[in-house]
Amino acid sequence: MSTVHDVIASRRTIQRFRPGTVPDEVLERALLAAQHAPNHKLTWPWRFVLPGPVTRELLFRVGLRIKSARKGPSAELEASVRRNMLVPDRLVVVVQRVDAEPARAEEDYAACACAVQNLMLSLHADGFGSKWGTGGTLRDPEAREALGLHADESAIAFVWIGLPEIVPTPPPRPVDRVTHLP
């Protein structure tokens, strides 16, 4: 993988991970890359929370509770939530401090999204897979408490990280959304 262009074009959202270790230095490099994201007004709106096994188990329980309430409990559902939430070797939760001023909060979310992309591209350049996940667990009060979120903070992304089991084929992508003006 040679240029930044190759890295950008070949990164995929990984839905299935296999067991295996992501070295600390790979994760540290990715977290550093995340913090090089552009950020208007230099508000540094992000924080990266790294849940350990106890917290991940709790997040799994919350995810399972939310999905079971929606779909009805089943062994298949539990296995699927377990696979999604406990198999990836690492989890980074990206947290935004939400400014009271909506325009600032919007720009800060944009900065946090840039940070997530930097994080995922760095991991991919080092040969590891990632997935940006969202959903009810990020907003759940029990999960928020376990993650140590402050009242003015929003968890905007689970970034699941590990060894890809399957690298999906790229989704069809319109790449002509460009308007040239005189």
Ligand X SMILES: Cc1cc2nc3c(=O)[nH]c(=O)nc-3n(C[C@H](O)[C@H](O)[C@H](O)COP(=O)(O)O)c2cc1C
The nearest distance, CB 25 to ligand X, in angstroms, is 24
Verify binding: residue 109, ligand X, rule CB under 6 A.
no
**DSSP of 81-123:** HHHHHHSSSEEEEEEEE--SSHHHHHHHHHHHHHHHHHHHHHH
Which helix (H) or strand (E) segment holds residue 5: the answer is helix 4-10
The nearest distance, CB 133 to ligand X, in angstroms, is 4
How many binding residues for ligand X (CB under 6 A)?
8
Determine the interface stretch with ligand X among 17-25, 54-62, 95-103, 130-138 (rule: CB under 6 A): 130-138
Verify binding: residue 13, ligand X, rule CB under 6 A.
yes
Extract the tokens encoding 101: 């001023």
Residue nearest to ligand X (CB): 13
Burial 127-145 (b: 16+ CB within 10 A, else e): ebbbbbbeeebbebeebbe
- Burial class of residue 158 in the structure, from the number of CB atoms within 10 Å of its CB (0-12 exposed, 13-18 middle, 19+ buried): buried
Verify binding: residue 129, ligand X, rule CB under 6 A.
no
The nearest distance, CB 132 to ligand X, in angstroms, is 4
Determine the interface stretch with ligand X among 18-26, 64-72, 94-102, 129-137 (rule: CB under 6 A): 129-137
Return the closest-CA partner of residue 59 out of 31, 89, 81.
81
For the chain, what's the residue count? 182
**45, 63, 88, 133: which one binds ligand X (CB under 6 A):** 133
**60, 110, 132, 167: which one binds ligand X (CB under 6 A):** 132
The nearest distance, CB 13 to ligand X, in angstroms, is 4
**38, 134, 142, 166: which one binds ligand X (CB under 6 A):** 134
The nearest distance, CB 138 to ligand X, in angstroms, is 9
Which bin fits 72, alpha (ψ -120 to 50), beta or left (φ > 0)? Answer: left
Q: Which residues bind ligand X (CB under 6 A)?
A: 12-13, 131-135, 171
